[in-house]
Amino acid sequence: MLKPKQVIEFFERLKAERPEPRTELVYQSPFELLIAVILSAQATDVSVNKATKPLFAVANTPEAILALGVDGLKRYIKTIGLYNAKAENIIKTCQILIEQHGSQVPQTREALQALAGVGRKTANVVLNTAFGQPTMAVDTHIFRVSNRTGLAPAKTVDGVERELLRVIPAAYIMDAHHWLILHGRYTCKARQPQCEQCPVYDLCQWSEKPTAPQAD
């Protein structure tokens, strides 16, 4: 496991690479982000953005999406995996938002997780990205990076989340989710990690990382 000084250096380097990290999901409001994150489960951000661009152009409020109905919504999201279940969940979520939250996205994890199709990870993404709360939404990328590098090794998603919140200094916690997910998506890949391009190569504790190339 990385030592505290190494953790600081780890995030300093990720920060230098991406000074202002952002989600790659396209959204203009907390509601649009919530819908995009629900759709993103087992789907790429690119595929979600392609679907939500025409959807949000005609329906970007709970009332408007509810008016589409399940079948109307499916026409916009049919290119996304599990779209049938996601359409039903989104319609139910819109009903809850209208009836219980005045059509606004709630700002607590408990209220978010009470929405249809919203688990802890989705709630954490919304809390962090839309409302600036210091949460950690552990997906497959973050789980892999945390265990592979020795940043926050744990056997479960919840365990990794707890370790990350424990070891990441306050100065980095707000953007840590984005730094880690982007690092896992583009550098610390599952099958073909780009170790030769990795800014934290020397800090990484992965036993299978290739030997660093020697300088000429």
Catalytic residues: 121, 139
Q: Smallest Cα–Cα separation from 8: which of 176, 158, 208?
A: 176
Residue 12: burial class (beta carbons within 10 Å; 0-12, 13-18, 19+): middle
Q: Please, where are the H alpha helices in the chain?
A: 4-17, 30-40, 45-58, 62-77, 83-101, 109-113, 120-129, 140-149, 157-167, 170-186
Q: What single-letter DSSP state applies at residue 4? A: H
Residue that is written with structure tokens 């209220």 in the block: 111
Q: How far apart are CA 193 and CA 33, in angstroms?
A: 29
Residue that is written with structure tokens 């499916």 in the block: 74
DSSP string, 98-128: HHHHTTSPPSSHHHHHTSTT--HHHHHHHHH
Tokens of 80: 């996304």
Q: Smallest Cα–Cα separation from 129: which of 45, 29, 210?
A: 29
